[in-house]
Chain A
Amino acid sequence: MNLIVCIKRVPDTETRIRVDASGKDIDESGVKYIISPYDEYALELALRTREAAGRGEVTVVTLGDSAAQETLRKALAMGADKALLLSAAPVADGLATAKALAAELTGVEAPLVLMGVKASDDDQQQVGPMLATLLDRACVTGVASFEVAEGKVVCHREVEGGTEIVEATLPAVLTVTKGEHEPRLASLKGIMAAKKKPLEEKTAEVPVSRLQVRALAEPPARPPGRVVGEGAAAVSELVRLLREEAKAI
């Protein structure tokens, strides 16, 4: 079973975000980059699916500049078989991104395309269902686990206050959230093997972005914190403040 996993290079979630001089982007100095965490969950599920099937290939795809090669190598080290870098400057318009992926994936024989439910940089949470719509494939979002059956995929999905079991016809696009399996760490052997695995690079066809970032700002500072007191003795004062000052209860 062939699977495609779309991944994105994003700043480490522990990064303190600072805005650069342009006022529209982040200051990249000192920022460490990782595979977006939800994309790692997607990759883990893809690898497990391939392992359970005992055949097939997992191809990782990313849209980005040459720095994303390193991100793809990490995915290869985790166990993906092949990598494809769609070379282009990432854009803020999720639909333009989805179109660039759709142009590449049209006609590609892969019953499942997986990606994280959202990228942890721009948090758009839209490329998966857009890609599925453009490819006229089934799409299930927020999938924690799935099983492939004859002609369909059965997904466990997180929704407000519970879970759903959803069946989708194949081929399908699934967006993945955290489930029971933590992404595997790359072994030394995996890292060595990744250097020899195929990493293809081609220029992406990204349409003009019709969603423009005009400004990026750090969040308004909260007023400095105030310690009401120590221990259970401070509770009465806290409750008074919550009721009379904050009017929160």
Chain B
Amino acid sequence: MSPRDAAAQLQERVRAAAAARAPLRPRGGGSKDFYGNQPRGEVLDTRCHEGIVGYEPTELVVTARCGTPLAELEAELARQGQMLAFEPPRFAPQATLGGCVAAGLSGPRRAAAGAVRDFVLGVRILDGTGRDLSFGGQVMKNVAGYDVSRLLAGSLGTLGVILEVSLKVLPLPAAERTLRLAMDEARALDSTNRWAGLPLPVSATAWTGGVLSVRLSGAETAVNAAAARIGGDALAPAQAAAFWEGVREQSEAFFDDAAPLWRLSLPSSAPAVPLPGRQMLEWGGALRWWKTGAAAAQVRDAAQRAGGSATLFRGGDRAGGVFHPLSPALAKLHRGLKAAFDPSGILSPGRLYAQL
């Protein structure tokens, strides 16, 4: 497929929608339609605006249009021995770069490498009136103006239609190894937090059902030394790759049942959360997936007590809103920002919070 520039058509659509005050819902591959609150508005398919605009491996920067398939982008980076270090989940083969940034979701490497927002260097967007705006750029250090680029990450299409994104990329690790250790939850939390305080190349952790998986990534020598220190059994490389892919894409057995899936984002060292159901810990304890039928209020309360927040990620009763409620002060700032970017309120209204 040859790259296509459809910025003008997209801009026309946004302008018309703004004039008519008709809600519009930017959408890439639709791989994350399940995520967030029920989207309103006519679909604005962004897949027509696609292609890598600039990629120079020695600059560690790639710039691509929103409709570029994530798989295609990552394959191109891999050909040059590089990667998106935040390991974004795709959830479907047709996932796009624009959707990845708008959803703001990061995968297993997040605790070690950073989140989507940490790698966003610049964006080109259409705001809610159809103005074509650019923020940030293609350089690592840039403090000119407010950091609108990072603000767009995770905004779920409510602030602007992301046209183009520049991301920092990193080299693929020279060596990787996954270790398996049997331990209970309390020990897994303690171990993963202690390892994170030592100069060890831990790039991902996942604990579920009494088994902790630890991935080491880096120089061969560093991986060897860390493996000797951590112990456990090494997984065969193909099996390890399949396992982490399963965690990233939520195709692992843990995710495979009808119970609602909650995402708890907590301080990594927070003690075990008392909820009924099954749990998977990631990010050294900072991300806790729960398969639970517990009432929303109970889950949110548990997360809040532990110093974090809870999102109803998949399934369950979504009528009350899936994201953790904001304090009145933050809700006011959110409404103000929404009005700054999208004064007629036409972009993905209600997807993030009912008032936005």
* A and B bind: no
Interface residues, chain A, with chain B CB atoms under 8 Å away: none
